[in-house]
Structure 1
Amino acid sequence: MSLQLDWSNEQQIVEIPESWITRLEQLLKLAAEEEGMTDGDVSLTFTDDEEIHQLNREYRGIDRPTDVLSFAMQEDGTEELDIIFEVESEDENDPISGMLGDIIISVETAARQSEEYGHSLEREIGFLFVHGFLHLIGYDHQDEETEAIMTAKQEAILQKAGLSR
């Protein structure tokens, strides 16, 4: 197995060039290498503010759009995942065939943020993708210490890919 990025574009605001997908595949590889990972599948969906607002409200109870959402497939304590493991697992060491989870990016919010921060939309989407990936593998930013760790990891990966501010 190897690292795999599956993506879909469900928004009509910005065209997603193939070069951006190549860059996101590079970021996935760099981020995984930093974490000592060689295998895993990530599903990425580009959407708009309306759709991500709905998802944010439904799954997080927050009634507003956001820039990125991550839904990890291998979180502990999820009853639904236990069912998936029992039904679909052929290999007990890899119960869901390496699927790490889903990342959903609002291109609409990313475009606003890129203007606000003064960098390219490609850089902002790259940042949001790495941020989402780190959430998939267990990183969070609930306090200053964990936020500092996550921020440092994100910036190091983006620097390696040539996506500095």
Structure 2
Amino acid sequence: MDLEIYDKTQDGVPAEHVNLIQDVLQYAGKYLKLADNTEMSVTLMNNEDIHRINQQYRGVDRATDVISFAIEDDDEEAADFPLVMDDELAAEIPENIGDIFVSMDKVAEQADYLGHSYERELGFLVVHGFLHLNGYDHMEPEDEKVMFKLQADILDAYGLKR
């Protein structure tokens, strides 16, 4: 998986945390059996910046921990103009699944509040956002159960247990 990580924090995110994000998302991609040509990005920011994004795109006037913007393949307009290509060519074209924005301030706040490590919270949030990019949601109780179990399974298998 091709993963771009952007650090927009004022203080800079330590390399070991950037590496953790890279590693846990690569692991999650393999866990879900995503194609090697899958692309996505993660932007690390502070509460102020994620607050602005939350306000602008979700109409929620507060900072949040993670926001995901999935690139949908089932767009109705795109279905009107299907691309026809052979499987070999299709396998070479990258599939961008979307972007995740993470508040590093919230990572620290929530890790402290929940009493687990900063690394566990960081892994939790990026996997949570990653699952949203892959079509999982938690709007309905049954969907929440499926998503949260998968999230826990990935984190536990990776080694970021509670």
TM-score, normalized by length of structure 1? 0.83
Inter-partner Cα distance in structure 1 for 2:92 and 2:141: 34
Give the gaps of 5 or more residues in structure 1.
Answer: none
Match of 1:66 in 2: 64
Per-residue CA deviation, residues 60-89 of structure 1 (Å, 9 max, x unaligned), is 11111110000112353376xx5xx99xx8
Match of 1:51 among 49, 53, 66: 49
User: What residue is the counterpart of 2:120 in the other structure?
Assistant: 123
Q: Which moved more, 1:117-126 or 1:91-100?
A: 91-100
Aligned residues: 156
Please provide the CA RMSD for this pair: 2.5
Q: Which amino acid aligns with 1:114?
A: A
| 1:120 shift after superposition | 1.3
* Structure 1 outlier segments of 4+, above 6 Å: 89-92
Q: TM-score, normalised by structure 2?
A: 0.84
SS of structure 2 residue aligned to 1:159: helix
1:21 maps to what in 2?
Answer: 18
Q: Which runs of no fewer than 5 residues in structure 2 stay unpaired?
A: none
Q: What SS does the aligned partner of 2:137 have?
A: coil
Aligned sequence identity (%):
40
Q: Deviations over 1:35-94 (max 9, x none)?
A: 221321120100111111111111111111110000112353376xx5xx99xx896847
CA distance in 2, matches of 1:132, 1:78: 24
Query: How many angstroms apart in 1 are the aligned matches of 2:14 and 2:123?
Result: 13
* Alignment partner, residue 155 of structure 1: 152
